[in-house]
Amino acid sequence: MLLKESYDRLKKQAKKDLGSNVVLHLLRDLYNQSAHYLEGVERKEIPSKVDNKKYFMFSLDAKNSRAVNSNLYLDDVNEVEGFFSAIEQNNYAGLASDVLTKLAYSVVITFISSIDLIKKGDIKTPGTYFEIFCGHMMARLLEVNPKTRIPILNLDRSATLPTDFIFDLGENRNKFHVPIKTSTRERVIQVWAHQRVLDGVYGLERFKGILICLSETKKDSRSHEVIEICLPTQWKVYQSFIARMHRVYYFDIPEKYSVLNSQEPRIPVLTFGDLFREVEELTAN
C-alpha cells in the first residue's frame, strides 16, 4: 500500500540525510496520507484513569488504535500543514509552546494510529517512525545531523560504541546525547546508563543528555481503560546515582514526571513544545 511505500522511502532517506528537506516532505506526505485514511474512521471515547486527561481511540473493523489524548489531538489538517511550513522555514514565530506540542503530537499520533489499525501488533514501525520524526526535528533545530557511533579510546585497542543519536555542534561547542522512545517503563535505566558511559569516556556532562518521549499511557486490551505507568522514585535514584539527564521532553507529559522539575534531584521534564523555545539556550556555547 501507498503508506508503506512512503514509509520505506522515509527510512531510506532518513539514513542518508536525517535533517533534509526530502525527509521533511516524506513526513508531510505520511501525515497527509494517514490523516486522509483516518478521516471516516470512528473515534471512541475510552475510560481514563489519568487525572485531567481524556483519551479516545480510532476504531475500524474490530481493530483499535492506541490511546489518543483528546486535548492534544488537532483535527485541522490545514493547521498542521502550517506546522510543516514552519519547520521548513525554521520559523516558529507566533506558535506558543503548547501549540507546538499539539502540532507535533498530532503529526505523530496520526501516522502511528493508522499503523495500529493497518498492521495490528506492529510496534517496530511506530518506534522507528517516532525516532525519525524527533531526530529530524533535532537535526533541524541544532543544524547538524546526528551520529550513532562514538569512538572509545580507553581500551588497549581503539573501538567504537553504538549509541543513540549524538548531535555534535563542533569543537568547543555543545554535544547532545538524544535517546528517543515512544514510552520508557523499566527500560529507562538504559538511558541513564548510556549517559554514564559518555560521562566516563568524555568527561562529566560533556554530552548533555536529552530524552524525548511520546507518552507513558497504557490501554487495557479489553476494557480500553487508559492508565499512565510512571516510576518517579526510580528516575530520582538514576538521576542521583547513575548520571544527570539534562532534559526530558514529552509529547503527552505525565504529571508524575513534570513535578520532578521542582524536586531534588532536579530532573527538568518539559513538553516537546518547550524545546523550540529554549533551543537557543541549549545550543549557546
Site residues (vs its own copies, CB under 8 A) = 152, 154-156, 159, 161-162, 187, 189-190, 192-194, 196-197, 199-201, 233-234, 236-238, 240-242, 263-264
Which stretches does DSSP call E strand in 113-158? 147-152
| Contact assessment for residue 219 and residue 183, using Cβ atoms and an 8 Å cutoff | no
Nearest distance from C-beta of residue 242 to its own copies, angstroms:
5
Give the Cα separation of 179 and 45 in Å (integer): 32
Closest residue by Cα to residue 208 from 171, 238, 167: 167
Least distance from its own copies to the Cβ atom of residue 18, Å: 22
For its own copies, the closer CB: 197 or 279? 197
Cβ proximity to its own copies: between 37 and 238 the closer is: 238
Find the shortest distance in angstroms from Cβ 160 to its own copies: 8
- Of residues 139 and 211, the one with the C-beta less far from its own copies: 211
Cβ proximity to its own copies, 85 vs 263, nearer residue: 263
**Residue 264: CB minimum distance to its own copies, A:** 7
How far, in Å, CA of 262 to CA of 204, rounded?
23
By C-beta, is 89 or 233 nearer to its own copies? 233
DSSP state of 223: T
User: Residue 230 Cβ, how far from its own copies at the closest point, in Å?
Assistant: 14
First to last CA, the chain: 46
Alpha-carbon separation of residue 250 from 7, 124, 184 (angstroms): 24, 20, 11
Rounded to whole angstroms, how far apart are CA atoms 46 and 68? 9
